[in-house]
């Protein structure tokens, strides 16, 4: 939680000056793109931290569970409920603190609805990382093997989130990774719920693709569009506010899959010699 609070202020502080200089209501393309970038970093830095720190804790709890199950003192259902419910207050508190600090420093703290959506998407995304850490630890024998699974999970979430490689640049079968990626749905959900509540215009820089997309002329007049329209352009029209229900559904689905994996692995596997 300390790491998350520090990262929230570190990433959000980049925008302290610009967020409180909104008299003219204009941002540059670079400012808008950078804000999207910090949301992407927020999701993956905190998610990776949550996964990394959950693994050794899950290892200790799992090994104790094996010993007590062997003596008939505890069943896998009880262990499953304990692991899952113990994480929930921590994940919720972490999400609330991070989003509150990040939004306050970036100027995204606008409406109660936008704050709720940010917390919800951030919570579901971080929970998926934490619960898959537990799932991986219950699936294999040791932490070194979990490290390999962790690396694959984090790598896929980074590459297919829609920021490192923009969604309009994917082709052929690579679209599959984009459609099943947890971070992609969290990023889409956060960006479009936050940007629709901010009355800022993004000024087009002469000669950029954004400038041409708006049909701007070179007569010296200011050419701009809303922050929400910039987000549609930035993601090539592949991300949108209309997919909010899908965003939530997929993130919930990933969490349900992780929880089922924890339950099944606790029931079926027994690494007593770890």
* Distance, CA of 1 to CA of 8 (rounded, Å): 10
Asked if pLDDT for residue 178 goes beyond 90, the answer is no
Each residue's pLDDT tens digit, 207-223: 899 999 998 888 767 79
Q: Nearest Cα to 31, choosing from 207, 224, 174?
A: 224
* Distance, CA of 238 to CA of 236 (rounded, Å): 5
Q: What is the pTM of this model?
A: 0.93
pLDDT of residue 199: 82
Each residue's pLDDT tens digit, 5-40: 999 999 988 887 766 665 457 888 998 999 999 999
């Amino acid at each position: 939680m300390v790491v998350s609070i520090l990262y929230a202020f570190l990433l959000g502080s980049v925008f302290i000056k610009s967020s409180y200089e909104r008299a003219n209501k204009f941002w540059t393309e670079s400012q808008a793109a950078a804000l999207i970038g910090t949301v992407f970093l927020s999701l993956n830095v905190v998610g990776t931290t949550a996964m990394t720190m959950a693994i050794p804790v899950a290892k200790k709890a799992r090994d104790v569970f094996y010993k007590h199950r062997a003596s008939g003192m505890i069943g896998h259902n009880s262990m499953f409920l304990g692991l899952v419910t113990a994480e929930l207050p921590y994940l919720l508190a972490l999400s609330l603190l991070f989003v509150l600090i990040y939004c306050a420093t970036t100027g995204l703290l606008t409406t109660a609805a936008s704050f709720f959506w940010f917390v919800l998407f951030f919570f579901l995304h971080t929970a998926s990382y934490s619960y898959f850490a537990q799932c991986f630890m219950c699936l294999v024998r040791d932490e070194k093997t979990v490290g390999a699974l962790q690396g694959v999970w984090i790598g896929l979430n980074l590459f297919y989130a829609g920021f490192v490689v923009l969604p309009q640049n994917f082709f052929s079968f690579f679209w599959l990774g984009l459609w099943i990626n947890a971070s992609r749905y969290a990023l889409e959900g956060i960006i479009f719920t936050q940007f629709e509540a901010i009355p800022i215009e993004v000024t087009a820089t002469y000669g950029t693709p954004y400038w041409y997309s708006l049909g701007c002329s070179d007569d010296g007049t200011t050419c701009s569009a809303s922050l929400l329209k910039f987000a549609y352009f930035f993601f090539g029209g592949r991300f949108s506010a209309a997919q909010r229900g899908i965003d939530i559904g997929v993130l919930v689905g990933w969490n349900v899959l992780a929880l089922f994996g924890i339950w099944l692995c606790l029931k079926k596997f027994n690494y007593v010699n770890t």
